[in-house]
Structure 1
Amino acid sequence: MTVRRDSDIEKAPAPLDGRQEDKPTTTLNEDVAAYGLEKVLARHGRIDLVPMPSDDPNDPYNWPSWRKHVLLVQVAFHSMMGAFSAAAVIPSFETFAEHWGISITQASYFVSVPIIFLGVFPLLWAPVSNRIGRRPVLLLSALLSAACHFAGAYCHSYGALMTTRVFQAIFLCPPQSIGATMVGEMFFLHERGAKIGIWTLLNSLGPPVAPLLMGPLVYHTNWQWTFYLMALINLGQFVLYMFLGPETAGFKRPVRGGPGAPAPLAEPVPHKTPYWRLLFTFHRVSAEPWSRLPLEVVRPFTMALSLPVLLPTLAYAVVFSYTNVLLTVEIPALLGRKYELNAQQTGIQFVAAVVGAILGEIIAGRGSDTWMTWRTKRAHGNREPEMRLPFSLPGFVLALVGILVFGIQLQNTKAGVWNVTPLIGVAIALFASQLVTTVVYAYVTESQPPSLQSRVPPFVAFVRQLLAFVAPFYLGIMYEDLGSVSASGILAALSGPFSFLLVAVTMVFGRRWRQRGRQA
């Protein structure tokens, strides 16, 4: 359905004889009356909404803005907790090495092993939530994660702690797959860039914020308090979901009729369900049989056959691995040892990463939405997902710059004397990473039809976490054997020109690939 505002006047091209003919058009009030959109206009102040909401106040698109944003922040923070939990033990590497007689490399496996489980198990949680709803899954995730974190604090061996780390990742990962889906279930297309940006920002802040907080905590207490604190955070999440986390899935939205036969008139008059019933009523949101669950677990891998999803995802995963992973997991080994930093001082180094990521999201979220609006107006209202991708290209260039600044200054500064200049490279790299993350997530989701969009976040999470899992096994070796400058040069080339090329190709051919996919 195409609707216009009162001020919109559309004119046909002038005929060859020079006469000017007006194209038949309708006013905003005529469109509202023809399609029965009076309540939509009164509630949202506009009717050019995608998707079009119902008149039911229980429709998640019609929830009050505060309710949507409170739930968005909860889910985004929950998503952050996966990476936060994985990176929280970084300041304790030296303690683990002394306590259990292991190497720093072995201690780093407490980070890298959970990373792969954070990538694999979202494939399971997504179809489970499609059946029982997002809310029960999030409640279970928070409660079971708290139990696993408490268990981690009472481990007395390397193997026991590693086992709890695995289960912590399994139970913390649901928002990795359903967070972006929930954004689409609450917010309209024109605002999703900014809202997904909030989700991706907190997701990206997990790795640097964890050691920033846990460094001083471990320095003044002991490593067990790392797990006590995370368990308390999980319990707090559980309470907040109980009272501020209504269900977003399963709403049956009626299809509106055409002019003269608006669907709302044929529908029962909607009534507003009391808020407490939204919170304490649990029911199946889909009748899909559980026997099909194994098939649905592997279905996200079909996104590998969609080049508009695969190529930007690879570009994003490479940038994430060589900015977020490199500049968080390796900081204790690279900066900590060179400048002889203790746990608290090592944690403080992550301020640069946090500042860079936040500044990146300030630009990426609303910036990419504004860019899309401008491009759509220039295209006379024709909106294509590929219009968003150019906004990510500066991110690949800045990722290259940040990694090079970090490596060059790390090698050229004096050992034992702290220097801020490598951290400037960290801030630039994390700024770039956030710019790429937000734009790519928004694009790959928009590039797919609604029936396939739920498969995209688990696939993206899997690819990202797979590359992030492998990276720590060779990054330290590269910097030790090749030196900081050479190692950073190689990683910068992959994060910059290589990833830039993947996205540039998608910009050129993405629309054609999507059309072929629909025809197939």
Structure 2
Amino acid sequence: MSSPGANASAHISGIQTGEQKRETLGNVRLRDHHTNEVILIPTPSNDPNDPLNWSQTYKFYIAVVVCLGMLVCNFLAAGPTIAIVETAADFFPDDDLNKSIPRVAYFFTSTALVQGTGNFLWVPLANKFGRRPVYIISYAIYLAAAVWLIFEKHFAGFLVGRILLGFGSGAAETLAPLTIADVFFLHERGTIMALYTSFLSIGVAFGILIDGLIVINNTWPVIYETASALIALVFLLVIFTFPETAFNRDDPPLLEAQSQGNQNAEKYSVAIESSDPRPRKRSYLQNLKIFHRTLTEESLLKMFFRPLGVIILPSVLWASLVQSVTIGFLVAVTSNAAVAYSNTYDFQPWQVGLAFISAILGSLIGVPAGGQLGDLVADRFTRRNGGMRNPEMRLPAMALSLITTPLALILYGVGIQKKLHWICPTIGLGLCE
């Protein structure tokens, strides 16, 4: 297949206007009805600055930075839970641990809460002003909060710092799917989204694993020093190598001509090639510009309130509930693991951290199941449906999680409660991820 920009007209000619418009509803023609070839959705422009026209190597670099951001954002969100006992002892040296640990747990649960709710602000800003400024501002907040927490010694101040940390780290977590959609075609997104989801979970497990090793010979604030260095690294990568990925591409005149017959379409095709000069590629320094232009004239206030209306749609509500429950259980398990393994198996923090190797392996195993398998299943149903792709065609690939997720929670909960062998809850950690 030649470059997307060069083949844009050829792919456009196989798309009917009505089908192109239905993309927003989730139903699109992904394969040509006659040739069964994959149709590029969205249709790329002839602009070299269009992210869809970037080289595959650079696209995958963008995906790597996005996944690295996911790892770093959850590294500090959940990782320090491994030292929750030591943290509680430092903040409340005169209190019983049974009373102080639940109070310190607010450091981590509040972070998870703000990571999610903060996106009611971040996403409208990203849709209005672009992804790059939001990435830079949010990572700056995240880094500042991490450095602050290295030195903060008071409970109230530390709690405020953790809330600010959650607010800054949550943006990248939600902007990642938008970035992937900006850069990759519809038929390419399955595997990349699976990697994104996997690294979101790996960030939690990796943070707990590394933080457990850190506290063997160091105090728990060193966790925040290490995390600050990692955040700074990603922050620099975003500033100097991560361009704006949001791109406004108008519907080519050829699409409109489709509804008027082949003769008009041919005329417009010739007109596009002869009268639409190829734009110049932006320089490296131009790509470093933080603000380019507003992406829409729509009211920002209206964009803030839109999720409240969208959430009542059954498909959106179902997906939101599934994600919320999954993340909720993940937060509950990670916040509890250090105390649970310590009380039940007399594990040291570093030993608890090593148990989360299971979670990392579970996340990596889930990549082909959620990516390639999901693509194969969805593509098979697409072929059977005459080339039309519906969102629900990925659901059969998710059936396995209906078994593994409840089983994971049972293995972890029952294993801890009944004091079964430590491998039982550890396998539960792997299945949970």
Question: Does 2:319 match 1:329?
Answer: no
Question: Does 2:428 match 1:425?
Answer: yes
- 1:36/1:244 Cα in 2 relative to 1: closer, same or farther (>3 Å)? farther
In the alignment, which residue of structure 2 is the partner of 1:379? Answer: 385
In the alignment, which residue of structure 2 is the partner of 1:63? Answer: 54
Q: In structure 2, what residue type is equivalent to 1:337?
A: N
Give the counterpart of 2:356 among 337, 350, 353.
Answer: 350
Give the counterpart of 1:270 among 279, 297, 309.
Answer: 279
Q: 1:35: how far off?
A: 4.5
- 1:252/1:76 Cα in 2 relative to 1: closer, same or farther (>3 Å)? same
Give the counterpart of 2:39 among 38, 44, 48.
Answer: 48
- 1:367/1:97 Cα in 2 relative to 1: closer, same or farther (>3 Å)? same
Distance in 1, matches of 2:404 and 2:159, equals 36
User: Structure 2, unaligned stretches of length 5 or more?
Assistant: 1-6, 16-36, 258-264
Question: Does 2:319 match 1:312?
Answer: yes
Q: In structure 2, what residue type is equivalent to 1:339?
A: Y
Distance in 1, matches of 2:13 and 2:332, equals 54
- 1:383/1:252 Cα in 2 relative to 1: closer, same or farther (>3 Å)? closer
In the alignment, which residue of structure 2 is the partner of 1:250? Answer: 247
How many equivalent residue pairs?
387
- Give SS of 1:330's match: helix
Give the counterpart of 2:120 among 114, 119, 123.
Answer: 123
Q: 1:67: how far off?
A: 1.4
Question: Does 2:328 match 1:288?
Answer: no
Asked which structure has the greater RCO (Cα within 8 Å, sep 6+), the reply is 2
- Per-residue CA deviations over 1:21-47 (Å, capped at 9, x if unaligned) read xxxxxxxx9x8399599xxxxxxxx77
Q: 1:395: how far off?
A: 0.6
Q: In structure 1, what residue type is equivalent to 2:429?
A: V
User: Structure 1, unaligned stretches of length 5 or more?
Assistant: 1-28, 38-45, 431-520
Please list, as runs of the form range in 1=range in 2, the aligned pairs for 1:383-402 lying within 5 A after superposition.
Answer: 383-402=389-408
Q: Indicate conservation of the 8 Å contact 2:132/2:290, yes or no.
A: no
Question: Does 2:164 match 1:167?
Answer: yes
In the alignment, which residue of structure 2 is the partner of 1:341? Answer: 347
Q: Indicate conservation of the 8 Å contact 2:128/2:300, yes or no.
A: no
Q: In structure 2, what residue type is equivalent to 1:304?
A: I
In the alignment, which residue of structure 2 is the partner of 1:481? Answer: none
Distance in 2, matches of 1:404 and 1:97, equals 28
Distance in 2, matches of 1:196 and 1:36, equals 27
Q: 1:60: how far off?
A: 0.5
Q: In structure 2, what residue type is equivalent to 1:340?
A: D
Counting aligned pairs with the same residue, the percent is 26
TM-score (norm 2): 0.83
Give the counterpart of 2:185 among 160, 185, 188.
Answer: 188
In the alignment, which residue of structure 1 is the partner of 2:109? Answer: 112
- Per-residue CA deviations over 1:344-364 (Å, capped at 9, x if unaligned) read 112112111111111112211
In the alignment, which residue of structure 2 is the partner of 1:143? Answer: 140
In the alignment, which residue of structure 2 is the partner of 1:72? Answer: 63
- Per-residue CA deviations over 1:87-111 (Å, capped at 9, x if unaligned) read 1221221112211215111111111
- Give SS of 1:89's match: helix
Give the counterpart of 2:227 among 230, 240, 255.
Answer: 230
Q: 1:253: how far off?
A: 4.0
- 1:47/1:268 Cα in 2 relative to 1: closer, same or farther (>3 Å)? farther
- Per-residue CA deviations over 1:84-133 (Å, capped at 9, x if unaligned) read 22212212211122112151111111110111111111110111122322
Question: Does 2:379 match 1:370?
Answer: no
- Give SS of 1:49's match: coil
Q: In structure 1, what residue type is equivalent to 2:275?
A: A
Q: Indicate conservation of the 8 Å contact 1:143/1:234, yes or no.
A: no
Q: In structure 1, what residue type is equivalent to 2:422?
A: N
- Per-residue CA deviations over 1:215-266 (Å, capped at 9, x if unaligned) read 1112221111111112111211121112220111133345141431123443
- Give SS of 2:371's match: helix
- Give SS of 1:219's match: coil
Distance in 2, matches of 1:78 and 1:34, equals 35
Q: 1:213: how far off?
A: 0.9
Once the two structures are overlaid, the 10-residue window that deviates more, 297-306 or 251-260, is: 251-260
- 1:413/1:95 Cα in 2 relative to 1: closer, same or farther (>3 Å)? closer
Q: Indicate conservation of the 8 Å contact 1:73/1:198, yes or no.
A: no
Distance in 2, matches of 1:296 and 1:392, equals 31
Q: 1:151: how far off?
A: 0.7
